[in-house]
Amino acid sequence: MILDLTEIHSKPGTSFLNSFKNTFMVGIRNREANSSSLHNMYVRAFDVEDALAIADEVVKPFDMIVKEVIRPGDEIFGLVEGDADPLPLLRDGTLHKNIYEF
C-alpha cells in the first residue's frame, strides 16, 4: 500500500462539525530523505495543531515526517515545487522503500 496523496484526510465527525473545518496543505517527506523537497497532502481540520496531529497519524506508519502545515489562503497554498523522494510502500504491516518509483 502506498500513501494516497489525492485523498483529503480528516478525523471522523458529524457533518455539522465538518462544516467548520478548513482544508490545510501539509508538507511531508521521508524520515531519511535524499531531497529537501516535500510531498503535499491535504487535511481537513479546525486549526494548524489539529491538522498537524491528523497528518502525523496518517504518515507515521510510512516512516515519514510532517515538515510544514500551510493555512488555506496562504500565497503558497497549492504550490508544488521540487522533486521529492519516492513514497515508501507499506505491505503486510512492514515498511518497504519504493526503489522502483522514479
Q: Could you give the CA distance from residue 83 to residue 86 in angstroms, rounded to a whole number?
A: 9
Q: Domain range holding 45?
A: 21-96
Q: Which of 87, 42, 36, 41 is nearest to 64 (CA)?
A: 87
Centre a 10 Å sphere on the Cβ of residue 65 and count the other Cβ atoms it contains: 16
Cell of 67: 515538515
Q: Which of 73, 17, 7 is nearest to 50 (CA)?
A: 17
Q: Is residue 101 part of a domain?
A: no
Q: Is residue 11 part of a domain?
A: no
The string of pLDDT tens digits covering residues 38-84 is 999 999 999 999 999 999 999 988 889 999 999 999 999 988 887 88
The string of pLDDT tens digits covering residues 11-27 is 887 778 888 999 999 99
Q: How many domains does the chain have?
A: 1
- 92 vs 80 pLDDT, higher one: 80
